[in-house]
């Protein structure tokens, strides 16, 4: 079964750091583009970051650029999001998602269940 | 960035009736090279991650009931639920894959009237 499981969410003070993990099973993450998407409490979905299949291309939303770093460990089949200089507005559930791009379509599937990051003093 | 605007923000429909949600992009998301619209629709229920319903604007994901359909091209898109069921109460989002950042619409909350 293709599955993504996030972990690492926590309560952190403003200015602090956190590392989120997204463990994949049923597929190899280095064969796909992988993304992070976040959702603040009661709000909509916001794309955060992407790493392409060979790791040569990385993109970030303007709101997190310079503070967040996406990476992956192919041996562990795990995606990461390192988050520094955290702000209250970074409070959200963070989802990882696999980006399927082929002749059948372009889509985020599956999504993980999400991990909650709360930035507060 | 491409801005995705959904309408309405909320919608109440009677069971068995049709529900229609619109999504408009600030620029065309139709790739001329393959004539595909890079748009997806998701359903999200409370406490759950988004679930893919439709991709390429009109292709239903495997396992999604056929009462869900997508249409449109260029900048204007529609998600239609032909006969609303209680299980369809959720928030629906559109998302463009034309260019990064892959922006989402603000969501449409669908309720039972």
Position A101 scores a pLDDT of 85
Question: What is the C-alpha separation between A28 and A74, in angstroms, rounded?
Answer: 8
Backbone angle region of A3, left / alpha / beta, with phi > 0 → left and psi within -120 to 50 → alpha? beta
Position A14 scores a pLDDT of 98
Residues of chain B with pLDDT under 50: none
Picking from A2, A3, A40, A44 by the largest number of B CB atoms within 10 A of its own CB, the best residue to mutate is A44
- Contact residues, chain B to chain A, C-beta under 8 Å: 36, 38, 40, 42, 44, 48-52, 55-56, 59, 61, 93, 95, 97, 100-107
Contact A105 B56 (CB under 8 A): yes
Average pLDDT over residues A38-64: 96
Query: Given a cut of 90, is residue A106 above it in pLDDT?
Result: no
Tell me what percent of the residues of chain A surpass a pLDDT of 70: 100
Average pLDDT over residues A3-9: 98
pLDDT band at A102 (very low <50, low <70, confident <90, very high): confident
Contact A44 B105 (CB under 8 A): yes
Position B79 scores a pLDDT of 98
Peptide bond before residue B8 is cis, with ω within 30 degrees of 0:
yes
Q: Which long-range contacts (CB under 8 A, 24 or more apart) does A67-76 make?
A: A70/A34, A70/A36, A72/A29, A72/A30, A72/A34, A74/A28, A74/A29, A74/A30, A76/A23
Query: How distant is the alpha carbon of residue B5 from its chain centre?
Result: 11
Question: What is the C-alpha separation between B96 and B72, in angstroms, rounded?
Answer: 13
């Amino acid at each position: 079964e293709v599955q993504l499981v996030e972990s690492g969410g926590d309560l952190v003070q403003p200015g602090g750091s956190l590392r989120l993990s997204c463990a994949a099973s049923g597929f190899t993450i280095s064969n796909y583009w992988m993304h992070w998407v976040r959702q603040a409490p009661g709000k909509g979905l916001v794309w955060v970051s992407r790493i392409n299949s060979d790791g040569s291309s990385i993109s970030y939303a303007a709101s997190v650029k310079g503070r967040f770093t996406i990476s992956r460990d192919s041996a562990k089949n795990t995606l990461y999001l390192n988050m520094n200089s955290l702000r209250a507005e970074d409070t959200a559930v963070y989802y990882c998602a696999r980006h399927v791009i082929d002749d059948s379509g372009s889509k985020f599937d599956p999504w993980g269940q999400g991990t909650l990051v709360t930035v507060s003093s | 960035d491409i801005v995705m605007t959904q309408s309405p923000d909320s919608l109440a429909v009677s069971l068995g009736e049709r529900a229609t949600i619109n999504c408009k992009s600030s620029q065309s998301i139709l790739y001329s090279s393959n004539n595909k619209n890079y748009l997806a629709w998701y359903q999200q229920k409370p406490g759950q991650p988004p679930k893919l319903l439709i991709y390429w604007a009109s292709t239903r994901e495997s396992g999604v009931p056929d009462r869900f359909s997508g249409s449109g091209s260029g900048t204007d898109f529609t998600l239609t639920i032909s006969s609303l069921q209680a299980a369809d109460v959720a928030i629906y989002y559109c998302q463009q894959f034309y260019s990064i950042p892959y922006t989402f619409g603000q969501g449409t909350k669908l309720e039972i009237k």
